[in-house]
Amino acid sequence: MTQLKKLVLLIDDDSICNSVNQILIKKKFKDDSSCEMDIVTFQKPLEGFAFLLKLLESEVYKKILIILDINMPLMTGWEFLDEYARIPKSSTNVNIIMVSSSVYQSDIERANNNVNVEEFISKPITNENVANMYRKMCV
């Protein structure tokens, strides 16, 4: 059986954040041929959520890491998490990291208390954050 690939799903309404995060992640993961990784970005969380649903049904990926912004129009990161909590779990390992420029302690506590959120990161994502993502996905 072929080992299934891994996916990083970047969901942020700011295209610059998505681009910078994608560059940082590609730079860290590029030299590891044993950790085949795809990166997909969405500026619209509803489209990202629909994409995720299809992936979970098809079980194409072994692991999915979602980097999810909190403050977005039409669907916030919190609403995304609410919808995610309602879907049946699949055999795909999904890890969600919330990212935000929010300095509100209530946002940090809410993220840390959500069972589906593995970590809260204050923007911008750093090389150290990406190294931790690499360990979660590839080690």
Predicted pLDDT at 123: 92
Predicted pLDDT at 2: 46
Predicted pLDDT at 71: 93
Radius of gyration over every alpha carbon of the chain, rounded to an integer in angstroms: 14
Cα distances (Å, whole numbers) of residue 7 to 4, 108, 110: 10, 25, 25
Tokens representing residue 76 in the block: 């916030």
Predicted pLDDT at 23: 93
Tokens representing residue 45 in the block: 């969380």
Predicted pLDDT at 3: 54
Please tell me the pTM assigned to this model. 0.92
pLDDT along the chain (139 residues), means of 10: 76 96 87 81 97 90 94 95 91 92 90 95 92 86
- 72 touches 47 (CB < 8 A): no
CA dihedral 104, 110, 112, 116 (to 10 degrees): -140
